[in-house]
Structure 1
């Protein structure tokens, strides 16, 4: 077996199951879950028709590269969403399908890391746990860059030493961020690009929450648009992952894209030819329809906006949290230890949340997720309100 397998850490939801295993929640309360970031909104109305029309795609072996139509639909969306140049993305050299961002992020790390050169992956902390698992299997060291309140929960690149930048092969960015909801500015993204060109590492930007934001007039900036603003029209050193899971409420579809630096995309295609991660033709046809429709995405945002309005109004008097900007997470401070509060909420209120420390690692002597909770506002509006009231009731009873 792979020698690094034993270094993998228990996944947050495995740890959550362990700490709740001995608890019997009150049966008179309906169970509510804020723990897993699984979208629950309804599917777009047109999806059933598209699914029926695309079922014949199962008769064919899929191409690793995907169909021209699939890649064109994604390219058109990227150009519209980020104001990219009409000729800025070549569907034959800048875009590949991936079976959800999780699969793509893990595979890209294995492809990109050269384990013979003492590689380092730099990632914000707290973080999406796939970044760490992929680094471990690839044989890379990990530098955790704490995202703290004093820096608006975004990474502070000044905390990285010259030697660490020289070892860096991948810088992971996640904006909008899981779990903090923070959004990096154009200036911060530009600084990352400047550093990538100076030290020749790859920026891997996970933008799967890009379409869930609270201010309809202020969508989060993306790495590709900042590349073009800086004159980096070839997107050199920059790779971006997008997914339909959150944008279109189809986490079971397992559909996304990887885009950016065409030299890296070309070599990644070669890797994936052997890796065998091709997307079903049926999934590609469904995905095309989703990338080309924006109405359901706008409606999606409106629902999340309503949830945040309801929940923050209830929790503001009893908890402090960063002002939500994007994603569907709330990142509040806890009045007691976050693990103990998680157990109490399940035992007393039949409510499941995720301890913040499970989303982070101890760095520089502290865990930046400790005494915070990640609340995924994915149930219905009324259920989100009910869950928030249970939390508020619990805190007032301390």
Structure 2
């Protein structure tokens, strides 16, 4: 029958040779990460005298006893030298925080469960419940661990070579940009560096994550990058978010970052930085979809289909323009879908649409969008030329409390034990 053991109870156990003589004590367990599969044990770090040495897992008979028997008492006494891809369970995981992917939270690994399988000893479960000894704890009995499947977590090992072995995303690839931003808000400096290093493998995702960060966290993380690295992130962000990010940088760094931006993005950002950040001009997005009044519904829908670089929120309405980008109407995406494909825009559009000037206060924009049930509102100059568009999600971010990300989250449902993660009580080595 398979046997499961707890890492915390294995540590410091004596290692004994075939003659029963103590060789040393277990200092750490070395594993190799295997992507979506459970990590497999490849060796031990043994404390022999005053030095730590390596023991291959093939030399270990088993972990089930109070003393860990070895197939041979011959030990290579060269000091242990960590190799690329090796993860140390005690040094890297035990007592450290890991990402709870299901709950999008950082939790601490208080214990690890190892189990013998056909392919060797593997790490299959984590205990994230803090050990708070009660009355029984005073007499030496540990609380029963609550094991959860290893595959529900992503370790933050803080070791670059090991992180590379995990691949570019690991289980963090399941999370949305807003989820990753929440993790970064709660992470310490070391943890945030590892999360960002993972996200950096997908530049578009990295830009999306920075857009979701609170301004203070965004600025803190950007300031740790070079000017060129900041520009690479901002080049992929929406121009309005990039302009806000540059405004929040220290004065001395703004111009070098602007100079490093691609010309197109730099022009958009400079345009937006010319407006008050608390006005419609400072909030608007510059990339919008416009069409002439004689375009058909089918033609406009084709342009919507091809507008892959625009914010989806900005595509809920098409702005009808003539005479040099002068706004004469708007047509919602729903009205276009419901219209005859050959119908012209000037037969479908709403004339005299609600619009605002670039100096309009954001609160007034929010009231207009609420009064008229609008998802977008165009921003125009004094001659009604379209300058940009404000979307409802941009307005929401400005009118809700600044500390909205730190709101008390709704309680998560109790975790169900993952299949195979909970070892039967009679089959777990509970230690002394």
Q: Which TM-score band applies after superposition, normalised by the shorter structure?
A: under 0.3
Higher helix share: 1
**TM-score with structure 1 setting the length:** 0.24
Higher strand share: 2
Larger Rg: 2
